[in-house]
Every structure is written in structure tokens, then in C-alpha cells.
Amino acid sequence: MPSPGGDLHTTSQTTSTTGPATGPDDPGSRPEHADRVRGSVLAGALGDALGYAVEFDSWSAIVARWGEAGVTDPAGLDRPVISDDTQMTLFTLEALAEALRWANEGSAADELACLWLAYLRWYRTQGELLPGDAPQPPATWLESDPSMRHRRAAGNACLSGLGSGRMGTVERPVNPDSKGCGTVMRSAPFGLVPHVPVEDMVRLAARGSALTHGHPTAAAAAGALAGIVARIIRGASLEDAVAATVATLAEAGDGAAETLAALRRAVEEAEADRADHGPDSALDPPRLAQRFGGGWVAEEALAIAVYCALVDADDDPATHLRRALVRAANHDGDSDSTAAIAGNIVGALYGTTALDPAWVEALVERDVVEREIDEFLAAVGGAR
């Protein structure tokens, strides 16, 4: 997956997809694929909930309400809820699961069409009506779930692109000048599909971005996140996954230039900060914005998330995830997107062992998130 003919094929989810173990004496030291999927999606949802609580607040306003440490605990929020970031991530999972089920039955699936129809269903959850000449996909359980019918700062380009009724493509994109982070924040699931070449999933993520955002940088950033997650899922370290993605972007031409520069800066700044301050460097949101911007556009959101994942690395998975999410959420910019992406990355690295059970339990939409994860894993495993 994918090819122009839609030849997605899978094997049993019990087949190892994580690469060699970390050492000859510890063959079970890496999480299994299903656990990585669960960790990535749930950690992304937790980052989304943490960041959504302060998304439109300045750092000074965050400090005034939460103190110098910022917002630090989803379980401490009145209602830790997901935003459009996790909503669209779940609809990406739904589309991929549908395409996988077609493949399991021996039929060719048009993966891009599956994505478009899933995103149109998300569009309807936002209280919008599709144009009469647009496809009217039948409702699924995900679209029908009441928890999906909350409009929480949905991206303008996502709404206008889907509301056009046209299926945007790389060749004929909708919103050709848009490179908002609405593409990258929904693209981690592409990296969660096993048994398929990484470059194919990167390509599908990039093609999927054109459904709403036509700028080449949006495609490059969406593909880059898919590539990082896919390499981690297959057993690469965080550092190696990012380095391989940077190397791929360096060969991708001018359309990837902004994403390449942003990721290189994220790596350089994380290395410098760890050398100067170790893994306990204090939050510095103004400097974060000075380095990477606010995260409102695709390459900035990805760079902030990757920086936070790298600079806050720790031997303890729970500590690593907590630090990365807190840093990625506490700044003046698009806090829910940057924290969601950081969660997707670090959660893929460790699986569920990084998750704080109290945080997961507090998540308002936990049930629907976990059900969609189960649906995706069933499709990966070849279930009918």
C-alpha cells in the first residue's frame, strides 16, 4: 500500500514488525506492533487534550492560570477533551482500516478515495452540509458517535477543502497555497500500517494532505511524520527515525525544502540544549517560538513536536512522554497540534508502557479512541 491500483496486503498482526530486540539477552524489550499503535494514538490524544486547554492562550496567560510549570496534567483538567486533531486522526484510522479490509478480501482498494470519504464524514460531524454534487458517504459508527460531534477549533483549510465537494489531488489540489498543520496533525496513522514499505506510506500521507491543503510543504510535512512513525514502528530509535526522514527529505526536491530546514533545526537545537542543560532544561516558550514559530503551519508544528520528543528523551518511557507533552503544549502557538504530534511520536516509541493510567482514564473520549484503535488493529490482523 499504496499503489495506483490499491494493492494493500497484510499479514497477521502477531507477525513481528518491530525489528531486532535491543539486546541478545532481552528479546522482549521492544513493544509489539499493536501496543505501539495503541500507545501512539492514545498519547497523541492526551497531548491534544493537554494542549487544547491552552491552545489560544499566551504564555503569560498560561502562567497566570497554571503557574510557571504551565499546564502539566490532563487528569487535572476539568474536562480533558480531544480536538479536531484527534478527531481527524481517528477518521484517518477509519479510512486505513477500510482499505485494509478490502485488501484482506483480495480486492483492490482506492486508498485515497477511502481517505476522502472518511474526511467527508468528519466534515459532517462539524455541523456542515456537503454540496449536492459531492459524494454522500454512508454514516459509520465513528461519525454517529455523539463524542465526535463537537466542533473544537477545526482548521479553516480542512473545512473549506472538504466543503468544496472536490477531491483534491497533488495534481489538482484544493487550497493550493495552504500549508496549515491540519495535514500533519492527522497523519501519524499512515506510519502505523505494518508490512508495507515506508516510502509507500509516506507517499500516501503526502497525497492525503492534498485533499485539504495543496501547498507542497503540507505534503512534505505529512509524509515526514508518517515516515518517522513508520520507522519507529519497525524498530528504529527515535534519533535514527528522524535522521532517516531528514535524509529522505534531502533527496525530495524543492517541495520538501521548508520541512527539511525545519527538521534539521529541530535536531540541531535539541542536541545543543541536551549538551548544555541535559534532559531537564526548563520550559522556555518564547525561545521555542523564536526558533520554530508557533506551529500553525505544517513544518513548524512538526519541528516543535520533534524537538520536544528529542530534547526530553529519558530512560523512563513515562518520564519521556510526560516531559515531551508538557513542553509541546506550553507555548503561544498551536498547542494541541504540537502536543498531539509529539505524543504520536513518543507513544509509538514505547507503546502503552509510557502512558499514565490516570491520564488515560480522565480522557473524556477515551472509549471512542480505543474502539477505533481496536477496529484498525482488527483490520491489520486480517479480521473479517
For residues 269-292, average pLDDT: 88
The yes-or-no verdict on residue 12 having pLDDT over 80 is no
State yes or no: pLDDT of 175 exceeds 80.
yes
Q: Is the dihedral of CA 62, 67, 68, 70 positive or negative?
A: negative
Asked whether 97 and 190 are in contact (CB, 8 A), the reply is no
Domains and CATH numbers, the chain: 35-380 (1.10.4080.10)
Long-range contacts formed by 33-36: CB under 8 A, 24+ apart: 33/194, 33/233, 33/380, 34/377, 34/380, 35/351, 35/352, 35/353, 36/192, 36/232, 36/233, 36/347, 36/348, 36/349, 36/350, 36/351
CA-closest candidate to residue 142, choices 109, 175, 117 = 117
* Phi and psi torsions of 2, nearest 5°: -100, 160
Tell how far CA 101 is from the center of its chain. 22
* Distances from the Cα of 164 to the Cα of 20, 128, 204, 213, 273, angstroms: 46, 11, 21, 12, 44
- Backbone phi and psi for residue 312, each to the nearest 5 degrees, phi listed first: -100, 15
Q: Can you give the pLDDT at residue 29?
A: 60
In angstroms, the CA 38 to CA 352 distance is: 6
Please say if the pLDDT value at position 16 is more than 70. no
Alpha-carbon span 24 to 140, nearest angstrom: 45
Cell digits of residue 234: 519497525
CA 341 vs CA 51, 60, 131, 222, 279: distances in Å: 11, 24, 32, 11, 20
Contacting residues for 187 by C-beta, under 8 A, at least 6 apart: 92, 205, 208, 209, 222, 223, 225, 226
Could you read off the pLDDT of 306-330 as tens digits, one per residue? 999 999 999 999 999 999 999 999 9
User: For residue 106, what pLDDT band results from cuts at 50, 70 and 90?
Assistant: confident
The closest alpha carbon to 246, from 267, 232, 272, 275, belongs to 267
Q: Could you report the per-residue pLDDT of 236-248, keeping only the tens digit for each? A: 999 999 999 999 9
- 285 sits in which H/E element: helix 285-292
* Nearest 10 degrees: Cα torsion 256, 262, 268, 270: -130
Per-residue confidence (pLDDT) for residue 282, from 0 to 100: 79
For the cut 90, the answer to whether the pLDDT of residue 30 exceeds it is: no
Q: Look over the chain and give the mean of its residue pLDDT values, rounded to a whole number.
A: 91
* Cis-peptide into 216, omega within 30 deg: no
HSE-CB of 138 using CA atoms within 13 angstroms: 2
pLDDT band at 281 (very low <50, low <70, confident <90, very high): confident
